[in-house]
Structure 1
Amino acid sequence: MKSKLTFLLLIISLQVKAQVLSGTVVDSRSGESLPGATVRVQGKDKAVFTDGRGRFSLTTTDSLATYPLIVSYTGYDNDMLTDQPAGAVTIRLKPQQGLDEVVVTGTLKPVSRAESPIPVEIFTPKFFKKNPSPSLFDAVGMINGVRPQLNCNVCNTGDIHINGMEGPYTLVLIDGMPIVSALSTVYGLSGIPNSIVERLEVVKGPAASLYGSEAMGGIINVITRSPQNAPRFSVDLMATSWQEYNTDLSFKARMGKVQTLLGVSYYNYQQPYDRNHDGFTDVTLQNRISVFNKWDFTRIDNRVASIAARYVYEDRWGGQMDWSRAWRGSDSIYGESIYTSRWELIGQYQLPLKEKIMTQFSVIGHHQDSYYGTVPFLADQKVAFAQLYWDKQWGRHSLLAGASFRYTYYNDNTPGTATVSGEDAPSRTPLPGVFIQDEWSLHRRHKLLLGYRFDYDRVHHAIHSPRLAYKWSPDDRNTLRASFGTGFRVVNLFTEDHAALTGARKVEIEEALKPERSYNSNLNYVLQLPLGNNFINVDATAFYSYFTNKITGDYNTDPNKILYRNLSGHAISQGISLNLSMTFSIPLHIMAGATYMDVYQMNRDAGSGLMVRSNQLFAPKWSGNYAITYTLPYRWIIDLTGQLNGPMRLPLQKDDYRPEYSPLYCLANIQLTKKIGSGLELYGGVKNLLNFVPKETFMRPFDPFDKQVNDPVSNPKGYTFDTEYNYAPLQGIRGFAGIRYMLR
């Protein structure tokens, strides 16, 4: 009887001591609930997740003074609860300011963004959702100093400009692997499912000491989600009033020790519009599908092993409104039609050794079947890349040493891959290289980075690429970075310049082209300024790049030709960029940036022998971006975003009546989002709110084959059909609406 009574008293005692803790986890500034946040007992194997409204309930017999609650959520600082609250508690988590995020692009190894001696900018899908786009190519226009440039009004071919430098100077990576070179600049970002993207890392300026050829103007590294951290299922459906339709979905699965993530993106636009009444489609019609599949393998000691594959197919055309496939390649109705088929295989594997030795590889195949009017462009490219590097921590030194090999096969139907007699001569370019890097922590506040790379090209021989960077943090709020680096590019002209392919002008190469070189320096300053419950982050950079052997296209000497040669002088890209991020105690967040740049070249005039300055085409003197977010009650969010561009120089014909510089313009957008339950969002808004559309973009659109170009009565100045005068999309104001769902 006594033992039974003791047992009963023990049960009652435990029930008395048991605590039921309940509450809600919210954003400290916007008040928005945070579904899926983790509430766990420190030191115990006990945790719960918040529901769709951010609510939780946890039963525990432990004292919070001994075993406090830890509340965590991705993108927010952790919070700790140590006292028993009276009734339900509201836990307010503060958003992280981003400086403690891990980056890999600047140094090829994971490092805290705050500790990196190389300035790296990070952008997550949450940022790009403020102005949803069907591809990352369009989305990166929201980044200060990064500009997606459409190079043709007919086929909408484009590239990515960083600090005013043309697309071939921008290296695009997926998970650190170079997946874009020459032929596929635009396809590196247009066919990546947004649902599988974890973040974008952007480095501005040359980085050849780590990444070799093409990393002259900057790097965009697309970091994909790990299957382990990705949601179980996500879908994003969007449509516009121009009858554009986009589907983006992903799901993950586990099969034993293998986790897989599948992403699919499909974009369809088949309704031709001619709102500016020039007889041509305003926007290229497209049918694009992209499939991405990634596998992660569980290994001993958490060693890395992953492989991913991507396939992109696109059918794109633009031209006269009555064009159809029956007119492809004919001289009756003008059209530009591009079929693209591209596949990629990338992977990385950590060797089963005590030392950290990583192997990485990528294999790419790209086929393009195009017609620009009557001119065909048929091209095949295959690129194989392999890299091995050793990562070693030795005292205050973080060492990195490795070797890489890139092999590029390229063939097309242009003179670029033909002998003097006209026989087919595909380009085969092996490019081996070795590199070494040392991050030296001189002091808690001082860090020095030294790097060097050696590449050997059989045509250009030895190529040396040194690198130097220094970081000084006098306190926790101020950081100063200074860096110097070099870049080089082994050139394949026809694959990089759309103007050479359109058939509107004849291409002439006046000399044997030499490899381009660049020398870059920049000074970066970051200030973190907490003001009570408000926070301001200032990021300012001054940059200077000097280019030699720069390849230029001369559009002015002969309106019927593009003349290519190495610059008999030098080119300069210099300027200042400023980024501001402001978070307030009210549910308001403002991100704004502005870049002023002076991009020009000095070329020796053949007649006078004097150096003549000319401003870079399609490089605005200044540009800006903004994203303003305000959270309303009942989980409504309003986003106002925009891009501003100052005047930029445009290619003209002789005695051209069109202005040489574009006007100042702004592409503004507004979006309203409603969050419903757990993981469901409805959104809609208006793009190009100010309805800005360029004027007089085509020359003689009524005679695209130049059949009447020599008529002295109707064309006394000899103008020819030309599509290169382009500085902004021809798509006017349009509405959009969509739905997102994410199952964690």
Structure 2
Amino acid sequence: MRLTFCFILFTFCYQTSIGQNEQKTVRDSLKVEKLEEVILTATRTERQLSSLPLPVTLISKKKILQSGTIRLDEILNEQTGIITVTDESGFEGVQIQGIASDYILILIDGVPLVGRSAGNFDLSRLTVGNIKQIEVVKGPSSSLYGSEALGGVINIITEKPKSEELHGNASYRFGSFTQQDINVDIKQRYKKLRYVFFANRFSSEGYDLNPDVDGQTVNPFENYTVNGRIYYDFNDKLSLFTSARFYDQVQDAGFTFNDVAFEGDSKEREWNAHARIDQKWNDRLDTSYELYYTNYTANERLADPISEDVLSDSDFDQKLFRPEIRGNYAFADAGTLTAGFGFQYDELDRTFFDETVSFNSQYAYAQYDFNPVERLNVIAGARFDNHSEYSNQFSPKLAMRYKLTNAISVKGSVGYGFKAPDFRQLYFDFTNSAVGYTVLGYNVALDKLRELREQGQILDVVVSEDDLNNPLEAESSVGYNVGLTFKEGKWNSELNFFRNDIKNLIDTRIIARKTNGQNVFSYVNFDEIYTTGFEINTGYKITNALNLSAGYQLLYAYDKKKQQEVEDGQVFARDPATNQTVAVTQSDYFGLVNRSRHNANF
């Protein structure tokens, strides 16, 4: 468990709004309260949170404001079973049910964000200043969202103006280490037009938690986020949504090597453009036509300020383009069919790649949401992905919820998830200039090995060519969730048991030894792991102004091969008490690293 204390030295907030009358205020507040219980991500349709057969966490704007958090990673870290962990890239990523952030899809208004230079997604890039709610779907969600949704989906929903009066907010927060967060937000509904403008500036002079180690824990940085959104209702049946978002950050960078202090900076920049037309044909049929483009760039340069010798100079430039068409059809007393198809083009140009590489894929999905009997809700869905770089994927999912009483419901789901090999795992070509080891992407490993051998750098190759000729497979998972929900009066509780069996995990292995004593690494499918446990959330409403809530997760996460080796007595360790080598027992094997066995909040 990690407790975070935020000391705010100065807070200023200014808000303008014009009310109509007391009766309207009451109606609006009830409407907002109802909307906070509606979730879109789990089924791609509006559903009441309490009626869903899937494990879902909804974080409302009210909760975000009450928490005092300012970045996405901070508010997620306060939720049961959602843990932020720093990886080797230095970025904090989110774990869900023990599954690493590489396998969690991050969305804004239903469209994906890119920019995972080392597999992790830096959640601190995202401010919560203009968020209506955050929706977290736990477990495999590839049946609707495809690759990277193997472990779950986090969807950030922005606000849509409702009032015809001009509303504005401005806030300034100042904290230790000269941390500053500034927000400006205006929104209005004017006849058929609605518009929103949001801007955020976040900066810090940095801080150092370990003075005995060279460099700062967090270097000084300054970033800006600007977002504009326009909604236009042509009539009752046709509407347009457009959004443009820009993010820019500059951060000081430094590294000491061989007693030389290299200095420089790192820069990040992100563009998102999103347009969607929603059409309601009749009371049963509605369709959406969506177009999305995003571009993320990152640059870092480190050099000796005296000699101007360059230690590192890296670039990362990723683009994603995706059109999609989807629709919903409500059968008369027979449920709702949701279906869609689309095309995705993904391109990356970065240092350590010989050339710009690209993927393209076509996909189609369908989902049927129905009630075969009055108290039973069933959701059955599947998706098919045809990808240019790996085998086709079929991702089914089934979820059910049965209402035992007016207060108690039982629910369960089983689903398939997958994650495609990423650009780095296929095309990386990196040699550490200081140490001398080399890391090669799977698709370029064979050709690069031949080049290194011709240059006299290879001592011997430890794998056969056949091992490098078979395509790298997509990682896959089957996830199970079974739980109970209780809601009556002032009490609400939810218990969920989960298990995720993951195979074909991609990891590095040694494929050759170099004449300098170092190794050549590449990627391979070999790991099989599982995560299992349970989580429980409960809340009690003491008064309209005071609520208590608590949550707990118990997690076990194991590598199946290592667990079997321990069981067979094939793993040994030195006993510090006797200095003797002894066999490791099951109780000694904790499991996968960077996983908390116990996680609780109150």
| TM-score bin, normalised by smaller chain | 0.7 to 0.9
Is the contact between residue 183 and residue 200 of structure 2 (CA under 8 Å) also seen in structure 1? Answer: yes
Please give the root-mean-square deviation of Cα atoms over the aligned residues, in Å.
3.7
Q: Partner of 1:239 in structure 2?
A: 174
Runs of 4+ that moved beyond 6 A: 35-38, 184-188, 500-505, 557-562, 607-614
Map 1:410-425; keep pairs closer than 5 Å: 410-414=348-352, 417=353, 424-425=354-355
Map 1:277-676; keep pairs closer than 5 Å: 277-319=212-254, 332-334=260-262, 337-351=265-279, 353-354=281-282, 355-371=285-301, 374-395=311-332, 396-414=334-352, 417=353, 424-492=354-422, 494=424, 506-509=437-440, 513-530=472-489, 535-553=490-508, 563=521, 565-585=523-543, 587-603=545-561, 615-626=591-602
Question: By how many angstroms is 1:469 displaced?
Answer: 0.6
Find the aligned partners of 1:402 and 1:477 in 2 and give their Cα distance: 35
What secondary structure sits across from 1:142 in the alignment?
coil
Which protein shows a greater Rg?
A: 1
The one-letter code sitting in structure 2 at the alignment partner of 1:378 is D
Question: By how many angstroms is 1:614 displaced?
Answer: 7.6
Q: Partner of 1:194 in structure 2?
A: 128
Question: By how many angstroms is 1:599 displaced?
Answer: 1.3
Question: By how many angstroms is 1:140 displaced?
Answer: 1.2
Give CA deviations for 1:570-594 in whole Å, capped at 9, x if unaligned.
1101111111112114853222111
Between the aligned residues of both structures, percent identity stands at: 18
Q: Which moved more, 1:609-618 or 1:133-142?
A: 609-618
Is the contact between residue 80 and residue 553 of structure 2 (CA under 8 Å) also seen in structure 1? Answer: yes
What secondary structure sits across from 2:150 in the alignment?
coil
Find the aligned partners of 1:235 and 1:495 in 2 and give their Cα distance: 44
Give CA deviations for 1:26-57 in whole Å, capped at 9, x if unaligned.
xxxxxxxxx9898xxxxxxxx7138xxxxxxx
Question: Is 2:40 the counterpart of 1:104?
Answer: yes
Query: Larger helix proportion, structure 1 or 2?
Result: 2
Query: Which of 258, 270, 290 is 2:193 aligned to?
Result: 258
Question: By how many angstroms is 1:174 displaced?
Answer: 0.9
Question: By how many angstroms is 1:514 displaced?
Answer: 2.3
Is the contact between residue 202 and residue 222 of structure 2 (CA under 8 Å) also seen in structure 1? Answer: yes
Find the aligned partners of 1:604 and 1:273 in 2 and give their Cα distance: 37
Taking structure 2 as the reference length, what is the TM-score of the superposition?
A: 0.78
The one-letter code sitting in structure 1 at the alignment partner of 2:169 is S
Change (3 A) 1:390 1:228: same
Change (3 A) 1:225 1:99: closer
Question: By how many angstroms is 1:335 displaced?
Answer: 5.5
The one-letter code sitting in structure 1 at the alignment partner of 2:21 is V
The one-letter code sitting in structure 2 at the alignment partner of 1:289 is Y
Change (3 A) 1:608 1:480: closer
Query: Which of 155, 177, 183 is 1:221 aligned to?
Result: 155
Question: By how many angstroms is 1:302 displaced?
Answer: 4.8
Question: By how many angstroms is 1:452 displaced?
Answer: 1.1
What secondary structure sits across from 1:513 in the alignment?
coil
Find the aligned partners of 1:48 and 1:608 in 2 and give their Cα distance: 70
Question: By how many angstroms is 1:157 displaced?
Answer: 2.1
Question: By how many angstroms is 1:569 displaced?
Answer: 4.4
Is the contact between residue 107 and residue 118 of structure 1 (CA under 8 Å) also seen in structure 2? Answer: no
Question: By how many angstroms is 1:317 displaced?
Answer: 3.2
Give CA deviations for 1:314-368 in whole Å, capped at 9, x if unaligned.
1123546xx8xxxxx9982156842111100112212464431111221001111
Find the aligned partners of 1:48 and 1:339 in 2 and give their Cα distance: 49
Q: Partner of 1:62 in structure 2?
A: none
What secondary structure sits across from 2:67 in the alignment?
coil
Find the aligned partners of 1:616 and 1:547 in 2 and give their Cα distance: 13
Find the aligned partners of 2:193 and 2:425 in 1 and give their Cα distance: 38
Find the aligned partners of 1:120 and 1:348 in 2 and give their Cα distance: 25
Question: By how many angstroms is 1:478 displaced?
Answer: 0.9
Q: Partner of 2:584 in structure 1?
A: none
What secondary structure sits across from 1:215 in the alignment?
coil
Change (3 A) 1:118 1:299: farther
Is the contact between residue 400 and residue 413 of structure 2 (CA under 8 Å) also seen in structure 1? Answer: yes
Is the contact between residue 132 and residue 159 of structure 2 (CA under 8 Å) also seen in structure 1? Answer: yes
Find the aligned partners of 1:397 and 1:513 in 2 and give their Cα distance: 40
The one-letter code sitting in structure 1 at the alignment partner of 2:439 is E
Question: By how many angstroms is 1:156 displaced?
Answer: 4.2
What secondary structure sits across from 1:173 in the alignment?
strand
Is the contact between residue 348 and residue 423 of structure 2 (CA under 8 Å) also seen in structure 1? Answer: no
The count of corresponding residues between Structure 1 and Structure 2 is 523
Is the contact between residue 184 and residue 200 of structure 2 (CA under 8 Å) also seen in structure 1? Answer: yes
Find the aligned partners of 2:554 and 2:566 in 1 and give their Cα distance: 32
Taking structure 1 as the reference length, what is the TM-score of the superposition?
A: 0.64
Question: By how many angstroms is 1:551 displaced?
Answer: 1.5
Is the contact between residue 179 and residue 188 of structure 1 (CA under 8 Å) also seen in structure 2? Answer: no
Question: Is 2:21 the counterpart of 1:48?
Answer: yes
Is the contact between residue 208 and residue 487 of structure 1 (CA under 8 Å) also seen in structure 2? Answer: yes
Find the aligned partners of 1:100 and 1:255 in 2 and give their Cα distance: 24
Give CA deviations for 1:669-707 in whole Å, capped at 9, x if unaligned.
xxxxxxxxxxxxxxxxxxxxxxxxxxxxxxxxxxxxxxx
Q: Partner of 1:118 in structure 2?
A: 54
Is the contact between residue 360 and residue 387 of structure 1 (CA under 8 Å) also seen in structure 2? Answer: yes
Question: By how many angstroms is 1:185 displaced?
Answer: 7.2
The one-letter code sitting in structure 2 at the alignment partner of 1:113 is L
Change (3 A) 1:495 1:303: farther
What secondary structure sits across from 2:480 in the alignment?
strand
Question: By how many angstroms is 1:158 displaced?
Answer: 2.4
Find the aligned partners of 1:128 and 1:360 in 2 and give their Cα distance: 29
The one-letter code sitting in structure 2 at the alignment partner of 1:383 is L
Change (3 A) 1:447 1:315: same
Question: Is 2:67 the counterpart of 1:139?
Answer: no
Find the aligned partners of 2:211 and 2:538 in 1 and give their Cα distance: 37
What secondary structure sits across from 2:290 in the alignment?
strand
Is the contact between residue 568 and residue 603 of structure 1 (CA under 8 Å) also seen in structure 2? Answer: no
What secondary structure sits across from 1:568 in the alignment?
strand
Query: Which of 79, 86, 97 is 1:163 aligned to?
Result: 97
Give CA deviations for 1:601-621 in whole Å, capped at 9, x if unaligned.
12379x999898882221111
Instruction: Extract unaligned runs of 5+ from structure 1.
Output: 1-34, 39-46, 51-68, 78-95, 324-328, 418-423, 627-744
Q: Partner of 2:456 in structure 1?
A: none
The one-letter code sitting in structure 2 at the alignment partner of 1:224 is T
Question: By how many angstroms is 1:186 displaced?
Answer: 6.5
Find the aligned partners of 1:609 and 1:476 in 2 and give their Cα distance: 46
